[in-house]
Structure 1
Amino acid sequence: MAKTPSPFRPLNINVLTVSDTRGLAEDTSGEALIEILKEAGHTLNDRALVKDDVYAMRAVVSNWIADENAHVVLITGGTGFYSRDSTPEAIIPLLDKQVDGFGELFRQISHQEIGTSTIQSRALAGLANKTLIFCLPGSTGACRTAWNGIIKEQLDARHRPCNFVTMLLGPYQPPIHEV
């Protein structure tokens, strides 16, 4: 017997921008993520911008992963090798599990666009308290590459053979129609 296809299930997504040089008005990467997550049918649950400080990042993300309404956190910035880039160091201790394939696949896809410079990306993903977290580079292009090449499909219950939606929301329960 064939499985009934799952319908699209919108997720609540939080966006965090990590930057020592930008405010919300100049945050093109955060704005791009918000635009594309909404275009995909998801909901912006919360947004923040913090300086590249391990404890400031952990404070925001810890609050979000404790919020049952937050399904996904998208973090842009702080994943490079500059002295202040500390997003991986801030987030990895919060994770229950890492999604190792995300960083590997992101760098593979990114190589087609920026060549060997992709080795300087420390993009990563993981799961913390049933919240999926993606740490992306600060460039708007890299955020779009990650979303379009990986994240969009993995946050869509219709994508087969697997996606993260059932893990985040539980199995789909069709509405019961009373007769």
Structure 2
Amino acid sequence: MTTREFIPVRIAVLTVSDTRTPEDDRSGDVLAKRLTEAGHHLAARDIVKDNRAAISDKLRSWAGDPEIDVVISTGGTGLTGRDVTVEAHRDVYEKEIDAFSTLFTQVSIGKIGTSAVQSRACGGVAQGTYMFALPGSPGACKDGWDEILAHQLDYRHMPCNFVEIMPRLEEHKRRK
């Protein structure tokens, strides 16, 4: 069996909230701590209000930054009128990773039962950058990272992972 070397990726964390500040952003703290403990680089971190245009502008900016490989947002994935993170993500995605939502729901069912139907966690790709929207609770961020993203963002994870296909995300733009 071949052993692969770990490849760190550069991950930006975006908290979507009308009320959070850097001092009390527990969900952003969870993600920043977990990704750095895993050996990845915290490339950027910010907080934006629950505003679709502001969220999508930040996502587009980070997708265009060559120093960012992955964006994970937390907050705004629920059903209330202010929850517009999923719509903002979808405004930016070139391709949606449908199975991310499905798998997150399966993980959530094991933790919170039927309340899992209230989350609209999603994932996609834009400009060669992976993007994931997680709910705003620290527990949901732990679940999303520990059960899905920690594995898919680890090049050593077999049989396949997101890191190994990163170089091919924009192959359609290469000259023939």
Find the aligned partners of 1:50 and 1:137 in 2 and give their Cα distance: 15
Find the aligned partners of 1:78 and 1:152 in 2 and give their Cα distance: 22
Find the aligned partners of 2:158 and 2:81 in 1 and give their Cα distance: 40
State the partner residue of 2:173. Answer: none
Find the aligned partners of 1:67 and 1:168 in 2 and give their Cα distance: 15
User: RMSD over aligned Cα, in angstroms?
Assistant: 1.1
Q: Using structure 1 for the length normalisation, give the TM-score.
A: 0.91
State the partner residue of 1:177. Answer: none
* Unaligned runs of at least 5 residues, structure 2: 169-176
**Secondary structure at the counterpart of residue 132 of structure 1:** strand
Superposed CA offset, 1:15-66 (max 9, x none): 0000011111110000010000000000000000000000111111111000
How far does residue 6 in structure 1 lie from its aligned partner after superposition?
2.1
State the partner residue of 2:134. Answer: 136
**Secondary structure at the counterpart of residue 124 of structure 2:** strand
Stretches of 4+ aligned residues off by more than 3 angstroms: none
Find the aligned partners of 2:83 and 2:163 in 1 and give their Cα distance: 30
Superposed CA offset, 1:120-141 (max 9, x none): 1000001111100010000000
Q: Percent identity?
A: 47
Q: Which amino acid aligns with 1:35?
A: K
Find the aligned partners of 2:108 and 2:94 in 1 and give their Cα distance: 26
Find the aligned partners of 2:54 and 2:22 in 1 and give their Cα distance: 16
Q: Using structure 2 for the length normalisation, give the TM-score.
A: 0.93
How far does residue 5 in structure 1 lie from its aligned partner after superposition?
2.9
Find the aligned partners of 1:169 and 1:11 in 2 and give their Cα distance: 12
Find the aligned partners of 1:45 and 1:167 in 2 and give their Cα distance: 20
**Any residues of structure 2 matched to 1:85-164 within 5 Å, and which?**
85-164=83-162
Find the aligned partners of 1:24 and 1:83 in 2 and give their Cα distance: 24
Q: Does 1:15 align with 2:32?
A: no
For this pair of structures, how many residues does the alignment match?
168
* C-alpha contact 2:56 2:91 (8 A) present in aligned 1: no
Name the larger-Rg structure.
Answer: 1
Find the aligned partners of 1:93 and 1:27 in 2 and give their Cα distance: 25
Find the aligned partners of 1:124 and 1:55 in 2 and give their Cα distance: 18
Find the aligned partners of 2:167 and 2:155 in 1 and give their Cα distance: 10
Superposed CA offset, 1:89-117 (max 9, x none): 11102111111111101111111111101
* Unaligned runs of at least 5 residues, structure 1: 171-179
Find the aligned partners of 2:143 and 2:38 in 1 and give their Cα distance: 15
